[in-house]
């Protein structure tokens, strides 16, 4: 038979009684004394110190009794003010056991005082008052990489926390003194990190030069990184003066387009009128490639020996850019005119007029249809 709910360190008397139909028998009395002792505590040890955290470890002997354990800490060595209480795991049994309590939300560079209390049925024990001091320093930040876009700038940031929790944000300004700033959303960090952050500043103007820096703050103060300068993308597109390579009935038109990062639609207009009246329009390009993007267009069914004018227009959400008209003249068809077109002559000599393309390298002439007795002359003759 096992007895429970007995008092510790108490003498009990016990006897057995047995009964059947013939009678009752009572055994001899015997005694026993329960065990137990007030709890005991060891000296506390402190580890894992940061500006906001500490771990307190100690040993407790529960004296064979169920024992509750609490830790109190305060910035007041007399424990008359600013007292915080944390519960540790209870203990039971006859052996000493290790216990630890994690403290959080501490202030950096601050001395804290601790005491442990253990309670069981035989008494309350309060350990010695001990102290530790948190660490900490000013945080710092540096810019790792930047990602400018049309209306925002994103930035990768490396941070040093100063062993203390805090927050970090990015600032952009039109001037290097940061008199007026645009800010990213603030991002928090703990005393141990993380040590990288990705921040983004929104609401910026397209194609505008900005200065960028990082501001980081913890309980000990703030610091700012070195600033960098960069520009957002996006603006009215830019188109270079078009170049034209004409042939007799077609022309290749080429230019460079800078979309400034915005979706851009590009078209060419061709007219025989300098003022671009009654112009024909041709699709050239659509996209958002940044930088100088080569574009070209081949226009067919042009009239030989005719002067044309061409403009290129590029449009995006920021506006439209149109080049000034560029003129070009298609080449004449290759041909020959004899005596200004006379069909007969009474002389033994004729006057030949040639219309030549640029790639003609020689002229062959004969008074026979089969080109017998032909002569060859240079186009420069």
Whole-number pLDDT of residue 342? 81
The pLDDT, as a whole number, for residue 341 is 75
Output the pLDDT for position 363.
84
Residue tagged 């009654």 (tokens):
278
Mean pLDDT to the nearest integer, 152-180: 98
Domain end position, chosen among 215, 231, 247: 231
> Where does a domain end: 83, 107, 133?
133
Task: Residue 287: give its domain's CATH number.
Answer: 2.60.40.10
Count the domains in the chain. Answer: 4
Is a pLDDT exceeding 80 seen at residue 216?
yes
Q: Determine, yes or no, domain membership for 59.
A: yes
Residue 360: its pLDDT value, please?
79
Q: Which of 133, 150, 172 is the last residue of a domain?
A: 133
**370-374 mean pLDDT:** 88
* 80 and 128 both lie in a single domain: yes
Q: What is the dihedral of CA 125, 127, 129, 132, to 10 degrees?
A: -140
User: What are the percentages of helix, strand and coil residues in the chain, rounded to 5?
Assistant: 0, 50, 50
- Measured distance CA(261)–CA(248) in Å, rounded: 38
What is the rounded average pLDDT of the residues 333-340? Answer: 74
Report yes or no: 55 and 102 within 8 Å, Cβ to Cβ: yes
Residue 227 and residue 242 in one domain: no
Q: 3-state secondary structure string, 72-111?
A: EEECCCCCCCCEEEEEEEEECCCCCEEEEEEECCCCCCCE
Distance CA 129, CA 73 (A): 9
Q: What is the pLDDT of residue 246?
A: 94
pLDDT digits (tens, 9 = 90+) for 272-317: 999 999 999 999 999 988 788 999 999 999 998 899 999 999 999 8
43: confidence class by pLDDT, cuts 50, 70, 90 = very high
Assigned domain for 11 exists:
no
Asked if residue 351 and residue 283 are part of one domain, the reply reads no
CA of 242: how far to CAs of 252, 258, 287, 294, 329, in Å? 10, 14, 19, 11, 14
Helix ranges (H only) for 179-275 are: none
How far apart CA 260 and CA 206 sit, in angstroms, is: 9
Q: For residue 355, what pLDDT is reported?
A: 72
CA distances from 94 to 37, 61, 333 (A): 9, 7, 115
Q: For position 146, what pLDDT does the model report? A: 98
Q: pTM of whole model > 0.85? A: no
Same domain, yes or no: 194 and 152: yes
pLDDT at site 225: 98
Instruction: Give the dihedral sign, CA 200/203/206/208.
Output: negative
CATH number at residue 173: 2.60.40.380
Q: How far apart are CA 33 and CA 7, in angstroms?
A: 9
Q: Is the per-residue pLDDT at 26 higher than 80?
A: yes
pLDDT at residue 368 above 90?
A: no
Burial class from Cβ neighbours inside 10 Å (0-12, 13-18, 19+) for residue 120 reads buried
Q: Are 45 and 100 within one domain?
A: yes
pLDDT, tens digit (0-9, with 9 covering 90-100), for 222-260: 999 999 999 998 889 999 999 999 998 999 999 999 998
Read off the pLDDT band of 66 (50, 70, 90).
very high
Residue 189: domain span: 140-231
The residue among 299, 326, 310 whose CA lies nearest residue 270 is 310
Choose among 127, 126, 111, 134: nearest CA to 44.
Answer: 127
* Percent of residues, the chain, with pLDDT higher than 90: 76
Whole-number Å distance between alpha carbons of 25 and 167: 81
Of 49-58, 93-102, 370-379, least confident by mean pLDDT is 370-379
What mean pLDDT, rounded, does the chain reach? Answer: 93
Distance of alpha carbon 232 from alpha carbon 250, whole angstroms: 40
Are 225 and 161 within one domain? yes
Helices (H), the chain: none
State pLDDT tens for residues 142-151: 999 999 988 8
Per-residue pLDDT tens digits for 94-133: 999 999 999 999 999 999 999 999 999 999 999 999 999 9
Instruction: Give the residue-averaged pLDDT of 67-79.
Output: 97
């Amino acid at each position: 038979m096992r007895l429970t709910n007995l008092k510790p360190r108490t003498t009990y008397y016990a006897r057995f009684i047995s009964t059947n139909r013939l009678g009752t028998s009572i055994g001899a009395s015997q005694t026993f004394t329960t065990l137990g002792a007030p709890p005991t505590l060891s000296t506390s040890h402190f580890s894992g110190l940061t500006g906001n955290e500490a771990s307190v470890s100690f040993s407790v002997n529960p004296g064979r009794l169920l024992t509750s354990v609490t830790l109190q800490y305060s910035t007041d060595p007399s424990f008359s003010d600013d007292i915080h209480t944390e519960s540790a795991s209870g203990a039971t049994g006859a052996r000493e056991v290790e216990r630890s309590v994690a403290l959080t939300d501490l202030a950096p560079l601050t001395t804290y005082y601790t005491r442990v209390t253990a309670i069981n049925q035989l008494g309350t024990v309060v350990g010695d008052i001990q102290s530790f001091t948190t660490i900490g320093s000013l945080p710092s930040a540096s810019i790792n990489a930047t990602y400018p876009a049309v209306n925002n700038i994103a930035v990768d940031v490396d941070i040093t926390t100063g062993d203390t929790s805090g927050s970090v944000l990015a600032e952009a300004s039109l001037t290097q003194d940061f008199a007026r700033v645009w800010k990213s959303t603030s991002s928090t960090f703990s005393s141990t990190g993380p040590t990288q952050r990705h921040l983004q500043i929104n609401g910026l103007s397209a194609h505008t030069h900005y200065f960028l820096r990082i501001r980081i703050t913890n309980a000990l103060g703030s610091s700012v990184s070195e600033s960098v300068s960069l520009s957002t993308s996006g603006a009215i597109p830019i188109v270079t003066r078009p170049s034209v390579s004409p042939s007799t009935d077609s022309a290749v038109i080429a230019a460079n387009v800078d979309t400034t990062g915005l979706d851009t639609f590009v078209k060419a207009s061709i007219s025989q009128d300098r003022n671009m009246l009654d112009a024909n329009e041709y699709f050239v390009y659509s996209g958002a490639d940044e930088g100088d993007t080569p574009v070209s267009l081949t226009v067919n069914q042009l009239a030989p020996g005719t002067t044309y004018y061409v403009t290129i227009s590029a449009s995006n959400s920021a506006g439209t850019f149109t080049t000034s008209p560029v003129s070009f003249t298609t080449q004449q068809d290759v041909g020959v005119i004899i005596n200004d077109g006379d069909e007969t002559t009474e002389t033994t000599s004729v006057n030949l007029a040639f219309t030549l393309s640029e790639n003609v390298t020689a002229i062959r002439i004969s008074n026979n249809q089969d080109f017998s007795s032909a002569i060859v002359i240079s186009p420069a003759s």
